[in-house]
């Protein structure tokens, strides 16, 4: 029997892994089951955080590296967007005992900025301590994808952002980082999303239903 409770579900993975698609599918599934839930994303999710997102994305497309943000400035902007998002959207929704589905969260910062761009882990952890107040996802789905499948999906995208333009070797490094973060942790689920079929969404529905005690 489902009991209304605050619950945070996060989808993580590299570009073209299908996390945005699967998070939307799960949101629709919970809506059908009449479970109060919201779907949000990072960076973004609130008006102010979306403004920061646009700033980060525009910066990436500057031709000259002299005009680009330093990697620490870039990371601070991501963390500023997270602060706005957590304070103004995630915490209020959890206080109302809603299920929050978030497309990217803390692990993306670790995989992309810390492991990928070599930002200091202590630097990121110290800021997270102040802005998250101990907030952790109840479930994190890491979607693992083959480079062939992710490439195919990225080619089909109508609008592209900075993440869609990294090299395949960078994606490979980031994917390994996500798997490393998840290894041996109880509330993490590493699922293969290379195939476009219903079995993945059914796995996600089943895991979520078990945790939320949905019949």
Q: Is the distance from CB of 2 to CB of 215 less than 8 angstroms?
A: yes
Q: What is the pTM of this model?
A: 0.90
- The secondary structure element, H or E, covering residue 5 is none
**Reduced to 3 states, what is the DSSP secondary structure of residue 15?**
coil
Q: For residue 56, give Cα distances in angstroms to 52, 75, 101, 147.
A: 6, 9, 23, 25
Torsion of CA 82, 84, 90, 92, to 10 degrees: 160
Q: Which of 108, 121, 123 minimizes the C-alpha distance to 53?
A: 108
Check residue 61 and report its DSSP letter. T
Give CA–CA dist 133/142, Å, rounded: 23
Q: Where are the domains of the chain?
A: 7-212
Confidence grade of residue 44 (pLDDT, cut at 50, 70, 90): very high
Instruction: Please state the rounded mean pLDDT for residues 133-144.
Output: 96
pLDDT in tens, 164-202: 456 667 778 889 999 999 999 999 999 998 886 789 999
Tokens 């980031």, residue located: 174
Non-local (6+) Cβ contacts of 163 within 8 A are 15
CATH superfamily of 7-212: P-loop containing nucleotide triphosphate hydrolases (3.40.50.300)
* Percent of the residues in the chain that have a pLDDT greater than 90, as a whole number: 70
Residue 35 has pLDDT above 90, yes or no: yes
């Amino acid at each position: 029997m489902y009991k209304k409770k605050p619950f945070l579900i996060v989808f993580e993975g590299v570009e073209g892994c299908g996390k945005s698609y699967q998070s939307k599918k799960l949101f629709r599934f919970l809506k059908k089951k009449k479970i109060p839930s919201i779907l949000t994303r990072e960076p973004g999710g609130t008006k102010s955080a979306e403004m920061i997102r646009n700033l980060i994305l525009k910066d990436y497309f500057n031709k000259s590296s002299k005009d680009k943000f330093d990697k620490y400035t870039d990371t601070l902007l991501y963390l500023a967007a997270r602060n706005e998002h957590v304070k103004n959207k995630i915490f209020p929704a959890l206080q109302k005992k809603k299920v929050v589905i978030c497309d990217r969260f803390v692990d993306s910062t670790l995989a992309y900025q810390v492991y990928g761009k070599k930002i200091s882990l202590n630097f990121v952890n110290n800021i997270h301590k102040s802005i998250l107040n101990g907030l952790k996802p109840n479930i994190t789905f890491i979607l693992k994808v083959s480079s062939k499948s992710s490439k195919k999906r990225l080619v089909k995208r109508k609008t592209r952002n900075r993440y869609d333009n990294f090299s395949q070797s960078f994606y490979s490094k980031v994917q390994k980082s996500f798997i490393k973060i998840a290894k041996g942790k109880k509330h993490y689920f590493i699922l293969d999303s290379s195939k476009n079929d219903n079995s993945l969404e059914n796995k996600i529905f089943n895991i979520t239903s078990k945790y939320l005690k949905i019949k």
